[in-house]
Amino acid sequence: MTATRADICVVACAEAFRGDGEIMASPMGLIPSLGARLARLTFEPDLVLTDGIATIRADTAPVSGDAGEPVAEGWMPYRFVFDTLWWGRRHVMMGATQIDRYGNQNISCIGPWERPKVQLLGARGAPGNTINHTTSYFVGRQNARVFVDQVDMVSGVGYDRAAQLSEQQRRFHEIRCVVSNLAVFDFDTPDHRMRLRSLHPGVSVEDVQEACAFDLVVPDDVPETRTPTPEELALIEQLDPEGRRFREVAE
């Protein structure tokens, strides 16, 4: 069984949750959901996953095919999510219509908010997510219209804006990583500018930089994103037997 680009993205998303332990994982989107489930089945067995409604699941259900009856281990209606959110015990992986060099994210609109060209989701929970707990992002089709010099509206708070807050206000702020169909990025730089952490197999630094509207921090030696093990590939197939991941990331 050969790993595809989609499989590599799933593993990269799983790695975003490494070291989290017993926290609430909130993956948004199919590939982040596969990543969180894969992490739970391998190196992070204590991750807490919900059914997206009100049940904490003891089992790790597939994202396609027959999920079966949920095996519940707890109850978490919507109002209880905030009790977890406000003290840092959550890690959300969201999407981004736009993201900039400091990790500011936009899912609200394209163009000026007073008169946008395109109306999107709205800020939703992004401001609270990014200030109160760890946040990561997944972008399935990276290009310079997504990785922009400046977002049209700040939905998720980046490092430059978080720096303007008090130490108490930003104590849980962490943008751990950005996973795209081309590479993995983090903000582990002195000024928290986006850094190229790893390249997916077959992708060059030039490919990635061309898909950014700003200059990335590029180390002298950029490793390759790890490929899934045979055991992980088998688990990914069990979690997504219908192959829906290939609709999000093509070769």
> What integer pLDDT is reported at residue 79 of this predicted model?
79
Total domains present in the chain: 1
| Phi, psi angle pair for 195, to nearest 5° | -120, 140
Amino acid at 223: P
pLDDT at residue 82 in the model: 80
Range name among 36-50, 68-82, 169-183 with the lowest pLDDT average: 68-82
Instruction: Specify the pairing of strand 174-180 against strand 195-199.
Output: unpaired
Token pair recorded at residue 111: 């163009």
How confident is the prediction for the chain on average, in pLDDT?
94
Cα separation, 96 vs 108, in Å, equals: 10
Higher pLDDT, 148 or 124: 148
d(CA 218, CA 222): 7
Q: How many CB atoms lie within 10 A of CB 127?
A: 14
Position 76 scores a pLDDT of 82
As a whole number of angstroms, the distance between CA 223 and CA 198 comes to 5
CB 61 within 8 A of CB 72: no
Q: Which residues pair with 185 in a beta bridge?
A: 178, 196
For the chain, give the longest Cα–Cα distance: 51
Pairing of strands 134-139, 49-50: unpaired
Cα 239–chain centre separation: 18
DSSP H helical segments within 17-158, as ranges?
Answer: 30-41, 78-85, 126-132
Contact 28, 95 (CB under 8 A): yes
Q: What angle do CA 34, 44, 81 make, to 5 degrees?
A: 75
Whether 169 and 88 have beta carbons less than 8 Å apart is answered as: no
pTM greater than 0.85: yes
pLDDT cut 70: percent of the chain above it: 99
Instruction: Measure the CA–CA gap between 19 and 46, rounded to whole angstroms.
Output: 10
Which H/E stretch holds residue 207? Answer: helix 205-210
Band of pLDDT at residue 57, cut at 50, 70 and 90 = confident
CATH number at residue 220: 3.40.1080.10
Six token digits for residue 227: 């490929």
* CA-wise closest residue to 27 among 10, 7, 43, 3: 10
pLDDT, position 223: 98
Q: Write out the residue range of the structural domain in which residue 79 sits.
A: 5-248
pLDDT digits (tens, 9 = 90+) for 191-242: 999 999 999 999 999 999 999 999 999 999 999 999 999 999 999 999 999 9
User: What's the gap between Cα 157 and its chain centre?
Assistant: 14
Whole-number pLDDT of residue 56: 87
pLDDT, one tens digit per residue, over 73-108 is: 888 887 788 888 788 899 999 999 999 999 999 999
Helices (H) and strands (E) in the chain, counts: 8, 13
